[in-house]
Chains A and B, each alone.
Chain A
């Protein structure tokens, strides 16, 4: 036990993988349409909040664990920045910059994960009126927290990522720690969520310049129960959600519509999924980039970054760049010699293809919820979600207020901050 004072202490705090990398909220994934639950499995869930979230009920979220654990990562990042600020400023060498950049990165990443779940979708020009999330920027524990505007929330995330970009090194030997590529990729993801496609295109490109390794799915063992291993070379930054029973292999079954999208020869179908033990034709997900069935992988990968670049490119009218990114990815996803590159040049049709590939590449990655939110803003790409439990049908309309998950009751009770409306 020590009072943290040194650069080493700050560095070690960022190595706290359990606190910094594995604590992100899973509500968005539970509420999204990557998977479904049978009535029996839904009934046997032991976590009531998961049950309610699955059917988009209006009930309050009772457990504050998911909120608190993500804010713990933010606290720890703020604590690291405080330690650094108190260190003699002469010692601003490479290590100092690496740690400082890491702290900004973790804070940005955590804020973004929280905003995706607890804030409404970002719409350009409307962010000043909408509510974002509380922006804790120092490790002080006193004071009352309140929600920043959605505009300020996203500005802060962008600022923190930009600081991280200037500070982080290109390579990092410590597992779980961010690099410059991670900050680029994280920022590209944020800009995509904000529909700022030029920025998304640029930063995705910058990320891929530093890191572009892709797993070749032909090299994986699809019969294995976890074919993709933790910390594999395609991971730009590893992160996962807290454990959720509603998403485990025992309960969650892959959405049949999603499953139907995969074509013959697409290895992702056998790497990501396998027939569920019920023997009723349903499938379970086993393709976590975390190599486990504990939390959902929500980190950054080269694959996702290529898709960000492809989508942003096609929306900016850069058809060739879009095709190039898309085909680079798919080439590693299809079985050898069966893949024929996509050649579609009609922007609308190509966008449809890219969005579909996004769906196929990123199931159970926490991205679907964010995608639903932003795509629903455009009527042509909106989706209505349905659940059937015990004969009763529940629906989630596009742009429903329910896309901002309710803030835990304890947080509202303690701080008096404004709850997401229903």
Chain B
């Protein structure tokens, strides 16, 4: 690490006496050989010290002829060397940055710790691994890369906005369950508002590395926010004494259209037959006369036939034509496109002796699959480090992000209409837009109401694609400054201040060209023989919503780092932190808006007006403008110390106390201490283990407490002062947000962690194995209560959990030749979270039966936190095809008893709904200048319940499913199918039973080929000033290699269509 380059015997050293021995030498920087002034030089054993002169030289009177002398200098690694009087020392000190590149250094956000000295559990993702994948967001790059991180893909819409990842499983029932994200020491707020979350704002190209803090020792320094783990991001910065350099990176990603044929859509012909059956049985008899019910084209035809306005031949030919239509064809042709994502990034950095800086600019432009959706983002970032005077460094960081997310205001995707019948057509054979019946009004009524004097009700989706939009902009400024001052060689003062301001204007526009706007205007009308009065002015609707989120943080921290006698080492920090998070929102609504002249017209707010001329009653013209603001403040005190003996035995401890103004955490409970203890033993440094096979062997153990904040419940009653007047009375009012809960406490997560790090055969085989026990306590959860309280459910500190898990990381270099190498990385995680205590003494099974696509916790003692519970299935009745369950041990069709009376012990528990075993298997091959790697991901050991056709959903909502074709039709069918016979009227609760029955449960295990990456390091182009030119290609979401269920369902995505395959091509280089 350090170097003692010259030891020249001095000729004039003969007159050495007891009291006039002198140690002399020079200190220079190892990188450029320049002398260093002010280096602190100390001979510990004799309590003598000095510092170096301008030319780097030093002279120190000493007492003993031989000994140890220590050199300390800010920004450089301290070093201790043996001296011998008479030998002049030339000390080359190594800058810290260089050292950091050599040793894996993890960051907690408060301090950087060489991984060798850490007792806690960290996962480190370096720049190379992070950049292996191509994406706009950074979150997805953490998937399948390190153990313990599992991702949730149920909510495809909010990808990149919410984190949707868990570290070591879920450790809460009802509170924030995503990990805390920290950027350069500052928490990045993730709960401002769910719609416009900002994780997409973090440009992955700006990230140098990521550390995941997994256990109490690593993360409890983050106190009440750390219960879900912490993700610490360090951004790229310049280096001292580094020549100016430009890095350029660009790529383009093409994504296939979503596979709509994955959706188990009911056959059009079946759908039409079933509609006809319901029609014949009288389901529509009163409905077709209602003015406000929508009717599918088939119902309209049947009605016409019933009214004798078409003949049976005409009916048949019309229906037969529709039988051949599949809506997915039109959606794929007209609504979806291959997605295109472009990414450009430019980095410039360089540094002199006292200053270094880096600038980066990024631009992303994404055209999403849905033709009305797009996203673009511009980021600019600067990190500067200055060393203005001795012992002082100042770090400045400034990031500006501007992003623009564009969607249609009216949902345009597949299955987004009012009734989604499979024979819907968007265009005729020539591509001319067709009218779609999607307005919830009877067509006859529509055509005749107000004598046809209202605005046009017709809906041509393809003509109206551009008639609405919702533009969400995020303009975010993130500034931080930190100051480090070396007060004493072992004592450093750090101060940090950061300011984050995200301004998010959202513009929701509904033009008069959209049927939804015309419908809105039509509804607010009154008419008589003379004319029609529109109570909202005829024109566009515009809602401008301005949200400003602010976060400020200040921190003062003392760092104590000292080594003595060559054996002892103490690293300690202590400090205090203040954080303020605030958000305000103002929303203005304009009617009669004209986008060309930017004019709008007044509305008589507060006035009661007839609704559809009184046909639908009356309504009040309500001003939907809103103003909202909140502010949360936190104060924390923290300390952390690690003592190492001979660098072999390390003990660590941390403590943190948090207090906040969050409602209702009772004052005596406000300050909540979180703490941890840890120890590690570097076995490989012991004499008895010194051999050639083992390079590193280290044992670790920690215990401590993290916390989790829940802002939504309170010890006091909380009321919400409505920001807009009541829609019926026009008066301001307040409503109960949450009832009082005086016993409320913060959630705590106790965690044991045991780890073994190893490296052997000259690092050919390395890795880590960890076992942990995670015990979240006092979890806030909703439980059903006596409705006589006025509430159907209440949130209380009701649960304890017990999570156990194993994280394994194995890295192996299988082949290492001059021209060729093959490396394998195996990531394996096991996590199982069970409920050990649940105060809710309700054992009615239906409260814990979530059904399809939902994620409902099952806080039942002894069960997995997310257990899949379903009603036991006893097959179909051979005579009628009716579903059969079990009541009191007997086969039964008493569906009310099954659905409502079944107790928890009466239903089937299929085990965990979240994967118990997950991880990835990555292989990397290097041949000359080429690198090829591919990743296989697996999720095993969990169950899911799939969708099927159920009678009630079809009858009430027109929701079909391909399983209809498999339904029971004749005796004997029960041997081949579990899909019940179709009946109208449908037996009460029979569909509720079938939808949540064991008949629909399968194993969710699957193994997927996640991605493949190929890169080519271009040979040096000697004549060009280009270095490190690299071409890369990347394919993601390749295919499923193995799947346990036979239904073709990808359980990762719930009821959504899986993410399409994407192909990327990119280039990066440096100048």
Chain A positions near chain B (C-beta within 8 angstroms): 1-4, 9, 12-13, 15-19, 22, 38-41, 43-44, 46, 48, 51, 59-60, 62, 64-65, 67-68, 71-76, 79, 134, 136, 139, 141, 144-145, 174-176, 224-226, 229-231, 250-251, 277-278, 291-294, 408-411, 413-415
A314 to B792, CA, bound (A): 45
Flag if A44 contacts B287 (CB, 8 Å).
yes
B784 CB–A CB distance under 8 Å: yes
The residues of B that contact A4 with a CB separation of less than 8 Å are 717, 719, 734
The residues of A that contact B719 with a CB separation of less than 8 Å are 1-4, 9, 12-13
Tell which of B285, B290, B614, B791 has the most Cβ of chain A within 10 Å: B614
Flag if A75 contacts B728 (CB, 8 Å).
no
Flag if A40 contacts B786 (CB, 8 Å).
no
The residues of A that contact B985 with a CB separation of less than 8 Å are 43-44
Known: A64-B787, A71-B787. A1 touches B718 (CB 8 A): yes
B389 CB–A CB distance under 8 Å: no
Flag if A59 contacts B788 (CB, 8 Å).
no
Flag if B287 contacts A414 (CB, 8 Å).
no
Q: Within the complex, what minimum Cβ distance (angstroms) separates B734 from chain A? A: 4
A51 to B985, CA, bound (A): 12
Flag if A16 contacts B287 (CB, 8 Å).
no
The interface stretch among B237-245, B736-744, B994-1002 is B736-744
Known: A62-B900, A414-B785. A75 touches B618 (CB 8 A): no
Flag if A136 contacts B789 (CB, 8 Å).
yes
Query: Which of B290, B731, B736, B955 contacts A79, CB < 8 Å?
Result: B736
Residue of B nearest to A279 (CB): B289
A145 to B720, CA, bound (A): 27
The residues of A that contact B716 with a CB separation of less than 8 Å are 3
Tell which of B735, B786, B792 has the most Cβ of chain A within 10 Å: B786
A352 to B884, CA, bound (A): 54
Query: Which of A12, A40, A141, A225 contacts B733, CB < 8 Å?
Result: A12
A65 to B787, CA, bound (A): 8
B311 CB–A CB distance under 8 Å: no
Q: Within the complex, what minimum Cβ distance (angstroms) separates B626 from chain A? A: 14
Q: Within the complex, what minimum Cβ distance (angstroms) separates B721 from chain A? A: 6
A79 to B740, CA, bound (A): 10
Flag if A18 contacts B789 (CB, 8 Å).
no
B988 CB–A CB distance under 8 Å: yes
Residue of B nearest to A10 (CB): B734
A145 to B731, CA, bound (A): 34
B96 CB–A CB distance under 8 Å: no
B282 CB–A CB distance under 8 Å: yes
Residue of A nearest to B716 (CB): A3
Interface residues on B, range: 35 or more
Q: Within the complex, what minimum Cβ distance (angstroms) separates B303 from chain A? A: 12
A224 to B630, CA, bound (A): 47
Flag if A13 contacts B729 (CB, 8 Å).
no
The residues of A that contact B617 with a CB separation of less than 8 Å are 226, 230, 291-294
Known: A40-B285, A62-B896. A145 touches B728 (CB 8 A): no
The 6 A-B pairs with the shortest beta carbon distances in the complex, nearest first, are A75-B790, A68-B787, A277-B289, A292-B617, A12-B734, A40-B282
Flag if B718 contacts A40 (CB, 8 Å).
no
Q: Within the complex, what minimum Cβ distance (angstroms) separates B216 from chain A? A: 32
Q: A15-B731, A16-B726, A134-B788 are in contact. List 9 more A-B contacts (CB 8 A).
A: A13-B736, A136-B790, A141-B785, A176-B731, A226-B615, A250-B289, A277-B290, A410-B786, A410-B844
Q: Within the complex, what minimum Cβ distance (angstroms) separates B893 from chain A? A: 15
A144 to B985, CA, bound (A): 40
A214 to B664, CA, bound (A): 49
A413 to B842, CA, bound (A): 8
Flag if B286 contacts A41 (CB, 8 Å).
yes
The residues of A that contact B664 with a CB separation of less than 8 Å are 3
The residues of A that contact B721 with a CB separation of less than 8 Å are 1-2, 9, 12
A230 to B730, CA, bound (A): 13
A229 to B787, CA, bound (A): 33
Query: Which of B616, B731, B955, B988 contacts A175, CB < 8 Å?
Result: B731
B989 CB–A CB distance under 8 Å: yes
Flag if B608 contacts A229 (CB, 8 Å).
yes
Known: A43-B985, A72-B791, A224-B614. A15 touches B786 (CB 8 A): no
The residues of B that contact A48 with a CB separation of less than 8 Å are 896, 988-989
* Interface majority SS (helix, strand, loop, mixed), chain B: loop
Flag if B718 contacts A141 (CB, 8 Å).
no
Flag if A141 contacts B739 (CB, 8 Å).
yes
Within 8 A of A (CB), among B684-722: 714, 716-721
Flag if B740 contacts A1 (CB, 8 Å).
no
Flag if B731 contacts A174 (CB, 8 Å).
yes
A-B residue pairs in contact (CB < 8 Å), sample of 29: A1-B718, A12-B719, A12-B732, A16-B735, A17-B731, A17-B733, A19-B735, A40-B281, A40-B283, A43-B985, A48-B896, A59-B896, A62-B900, A67-B787, A67-B788, A68-B791, A71-B789, A73-B790, A76-B790, A79-B717, A79-B736, A136-B790, A139-B717, A175-B730, A229-B608, A230-B608, A231-B729, A409-B900, A411-B786
Tell which of A9, A12, A38 has the most Cβ of chain B within 10 Å: A12
Residue of A nearest to B630 (CB): A1
Q: Within the complex, what minimum Cβ distance (angstroms) separates A70 from chain B? A: 9
Within 8 A of A (CB), among B828-844: 842, 844
Tell which of B286, B610, B735, B787 has the most Cβ of chain A within 10 Å: B787
Flag if B740 contacts A141 (CB, 8 Å).
yes
Tell which of B282, B663, B733, B794 has the most Cβ of chain A within 10 Å: B733
A68 to B791, CA, bound (A): 6
B12 CB–A CB distance under 8 Å: no
The residues of B that contact A408 with a CB separation of less than 8 Å are 787
Flag if B732 contacts A75 (CB, 8 Å).
no
Q: Within the complex, what minimum Cβ distance (angstroms) separates A74 from chain B? A: 6
The residues of A that contact B101 with a CB separation of less than 8 Å are none
B32 CB–A CB distance under 8 Å: no
Q: Within the complex, what minimum Cβ distance (angstroms) separates B946 from chain A? A: 24
Flag if A51 contacts B787 (CB, 8 Å).
no
Known: A4-B719, A408-B787. A230 touches B618 (CB 8 A): yes
Flag if A174 contacts B729 (CB, 8 Å).
yes
Residue of A nearest to B988 (CB): A48
Flag if B718 contacts A2 (CB, 8 Å).
yes
Flag if B726 contacts A15 (CB, 8 Å).
yes
Flag if A17 contacts B842 (CB, 8 Å).
no
The residues of A that contact B955 with a CB separation of less than 8 Å are 44
A75 to B791, CA, bound (A): 9
The residues of B that contact A73 with a CB separation of less than 8 Å are 790
Query: Which of B285, B740, B842 contacts A414, CB < 8 Å?
Result: B842
Flag if B900 contacts A60 (CB, 8 Å).
yes
B530 CB–A CB distance under 8 Å: no
A75 to B794, CA, bound (A): 14
Query: Which of A41, A64, A230 contacts B792, CB < 8 Å?
Result: A64
Residue of A nearest to B847 (CB): A410
Known: A277-B289, A291-B617. A415 touches B786 (CB 8 A): yes
B956 CB–A CB distance under 8 Å: yes
Known: A250-B286, A413-B844. A75 touches B988 (CB 8 A): no
A207 to B656, CA, bound (A): 64
Q: Within the complex, what minimum Cβ distance (angstroms) separates A12 from chain B? A: 4
Query: Which of A1, A67, A136 contacts B737, CB < 8 Å?
Result: A1
A225 to B617, CA, bound (A): 8
Residue of B nearest to A14 (CB): B733
Mask for B781-806, Cβ within 8 A of A = 1, else 0? 00011111111101000000000000
Q: Within the complex, what minimum Cβ distance (angstroms) separates A79 from chain B? A: 6
A297 to B167, CA, bound (A): 53
The residues of B that contact A409 with a CB separation of less than 8 Å are 900
A225 to B445, CA, bound (A): 14
Known: A1-B630, A3-B716, A48-B989. A291 touches B787 (CB 8 A): no
Residue of B nearest to A83 (CB): B717
Query: Which of B286, B720, B787, B794 contacts A411, CB < 8 Å?
Result: B787
A62 to B988, CA, bound (A): 12
Flag if A145 contacts B788 (CB, 8 Å).
yes
The residues of A that contact B956 with a CB separation of less than 8 Å are 46
